A and B are shown apart, each in its own frame.
Chain A
Amino acid sequence: MAGWSEKVLDIDLSTQTYKTYPLDMEMARLYIGGRGLGARLLWDMVGPDVDPLAPENVLIFTNGPLTGTGYQTSNRFSVTTKSPLTGTILDANSGGFWGMQFKKTGHDVMIIRGRAQKPVWIEIKNDEIKFHDASELWGMRVFALTEKLGQNNNKRNVLCIGPAGENLSRIAAIMNDRERALARGGPGAVMGSKNLKAIVVEGKERPGIVDKDQFKFLLYEARKSLAQSPLTSQALPEFGTVVLMNIMNNVGALATRNHQQTQFEGAEAISGEELTDNYLVKNAACWACPISCTRITRTEKVEGEGPEFESTWAFGAQCGIADLPAIIEANSLCNDLGLDTISTGSTIACAMELSEKGYMDSDLRFGLADRLAPVIEALAYRRDIGADLADGSLRLATKYGHPELSMSSKGLEMPAYDPRGMQGQGLLYATSNRGGCHMRGNMVGPEVLGAPKLIDRFQVQGKSSFVILHQDTAAAIDSLVLCKFTNYGVAEEYFARVLSAVTGIKYSTGDMIKVGERVWNLERLYNLREGFTSKDDTLPPRLLSEAPTDGPSKGWVVQLEPMLKEYYRGRGWDEHGVPTSRKLNELELNNLV
């Protein structure tokens, strides 16, 4: 069948052996690829008895039927595992080139099991799989390692962990193509626990396409739409995502100093406008992406990709720091050490508040830009104060007796959007299956940017229907796997049409959104099986009870309870947040429980 390679590569690091077998195509039809396929496979492989850092946990790398076809942003891939940070199901996806190259090796899925006795790295050239001793590579940072292993964007691509993953930091990322990240929830620690330093891929296979004429037409149409949209043709290429800094600050929804305020007086100094005027070298793009939102920036000390909005916020407003060069350098350092920038910045901010309030003995204080780099280094190596910070803000705050100061949901640090100024975003964070996250759907479009249309950001009643739609759509796009930015210029009708053209299976838009709903419910079932309950669908007490005392969000806290009740009903779940048998039947999930 076209689109999929119909092949699974299953690697056991304990024995350094591998096997390949056919992909279950009925499973592929129901879950497509990426996040969906990963979730379905993890359901069978990793139960509640497995510690995330034990050899029995797995890393499942997946691409999708569109990956490598050349359709706009068809470069992405996913990793699915049980998160060592949250204990929930985790998937993270990344762009760049590695996903496209992995698809060209002729595999849809790569499962990594077990634990190598000594550090190894894996080299995959089409059907040829080699295990190499990585003893001499252990300890290397990401940039040097990526170069050493022969990164060549269109021919040979490197995915690896840095020292943070080796040292099992629960906020460690897996990096690919030097500065792209499978960042959230600690997949780098899982890879480190397996003594796996890197996976290098080279391939020659081209994905099959059933209806090539229709595919070419849709490619042309999508390119035209992306070129016509002011969001994808001007906003993202010209200013990148950091342009959100000023608007989020202006409307009073920019989390500041560990969410103690909702506006940052230094926002302009760390804005997209400032970055573009003074630090931008040029734009760059992932494979097959016409948007080119990547920003290559330079300071006196570093030159590289980013930082994106969330990273700039995490080291900026969240830490009370208005020093853009220090933020750019912190972002680069995290990429080199293999760390999730959102969790790292927010964990440092948590430590700053704990220290300022006298709960923790350290010299960290809000606004101290020169402390960023040393603390990040210490965190990656679990040295000194870094030992406390390496496992994220919830474990840190709990150790010092104040778990309420961790700005996380289900243990995952939330990103920049303060939900007191965006009620729907609060519901979205609280119900996100991998914890506080803006990529499982994001209400910034309708609640602030007016995309596709503006809704009242403070309204509570009826908000859940928007959140559900966003979550299901995001899960569908993550299963294709495409970049969500394309959806700013191209309707998801196009995704269904291109999926049909590539695979020969007729998918309507409704079918595709149904896949997203199925994936969302399966992830929910996974978390319920792990022992999570409706009590975990919540937010830090600060966001539920401490209203901002000034600014445009003055007087607002997140009205979570009524939204949550409405959300459960809208999802077809019972009052405890458990999917009903009727819903499971509707989604063809009834055979799993």
Chain B
Amino acid sequence: MADAVIADMLSRAQFVIEATVRSPGHSTVADIPVNDHTVVFRVDRVLHSPAALARSAGLDVTVQLAAGSPVPAVGEQVTLFTAPVAYGDGIAVAEVGRAAPGTAAVSSTMEAGSGARRSRPRPALGVAQQLDDEQLRAHAAQADVVVIGRIVHLEKAGSPALREHDPDWWLATLAVDHRVKGPVAGTVQFAFPNSTDVRWAYVPKPKAGDAGLWLLHAAAGDAAKLADYSLLDADDVQRPDELDRLGLSGGGE
């Protein structure tokens, strides 16, 4: 199966498994609709999953197969690309794609568990890594300024934040060591939300001396009153050696 097909299925799936049919027409999760396309599979191997379900090999999972798709026979193994439906005593997912076992090559060992409180999807399929990289490159391409540099100054901006979901804007000044993209030289200032509120907690909070590859975006709304650029995405700070991965190594000075 072509990587493009795998990538398309993966873009719509959050849980990819190699699994063996155990019981068609049944469910391991109470109170969900069951029909002849509801099938209990035994998970043989987890190929792609957030940390919380990465250790589900050996467990049963209920899969609502795509309408009109063939129902594999008991004992048959398939690779399933699925999206979440319900979690209870078991897990119920909906099929968004299917492949023969071994079609989707595994590129790395799944990492999950104890250190994964802030889990994000961890690509284990080679094509998943490619998809992740493509998304990151697309995000980087949208940045208005890309520099390697370090934080030399921080200051609070604006009035006290008296709303639960207020961003609590701060201003950071970067000393630019290497300009990759954008009309900046010497230093560049950007606004970032320093709030620990649930809405902003996952946006990076620069600290004095932090060095990295910074993806800055033209500020909008209230942030535009404070600075030309803002940092609002968890992917806006990368390691300096990620230039190649972000497709940015060709330019700059």
Does A pair with B? no
Which residues in A have some Cβ–Cβ distance to B below 8 Å? none
